[in-house]
Amino acid sequence: MTDSEKLTTIVSANGRVTLPNAIRKRREWGAGTRLQIEDTPQGVLLRPAQDFAPTKPEDVFGILPHSGMPKTLQDMDAGVFAEAQQRHAGD
């Protein structure tokens, strides 16, 4: 963005800042977009916030209780296939 293209905005009495439409469109930031704010030496940085905190598989494995033998991949595939057939039997 050149100096002639720089846009300005005003901080409201409530501390709100409206981002110019050109920036919102370029970034594809629609209404309700959550933004992460970072204060840097160069200024304030806005970036889309992650929907969920980063996790590792070991953080979430085993959350749901299960009794019995673990299912094989073939068992899971067969279960998904059977459910799909049942849901689409009337199609």
**Which residue is listed with tokens 């595939």?**
77
Q: Mind listing the pLDDT tens digit for each residue in 32-85?
A: 999 999 999 999 999 999 888 888 887 877 777 778 888 899 999 999 999 999
One domain, residues 43 and 11: yes
One domain, residues 16 and 43: yes
One domain, residues 17 and 38: yes
Q: Which two tokens stand for residue 33?
A: 């977009």
Q: What is 61-75 written as a DSSP string?
A: TT-S---SSPPPHHH
Rounded distance between C-alpha atoms, residue 11 and residue 17, angstroms: 5
Give the chain's domain count. Answer: 2
Instruction: Quickly state the pLDDT bin for 23 (edges 50, 70, 90).
Output: very high
Is residue 37 within 8 Å of 46, Cβ to Cβ? yes
One domain, residues 61 and 28: no
Instruction: Give me the pLDDT at residue 3, please.
Output: 53
Range of the domain at 73: 57-87
Which residue in 34, 62, 39 sits closest to 50, CA to CA? 34
> What 3-state DSSP class applies to 25?
helix
Rounded distance between C-alpha atoms, residue 91 and residue 89, angstroms: 6
Instruction: Give me the pLDDT at residue 65, please.
Output: 76
Q: Which two tokens stand for residue 67?
A: 């009794």
Q: Which two tokens stand for residue 50?
A: 């992650």
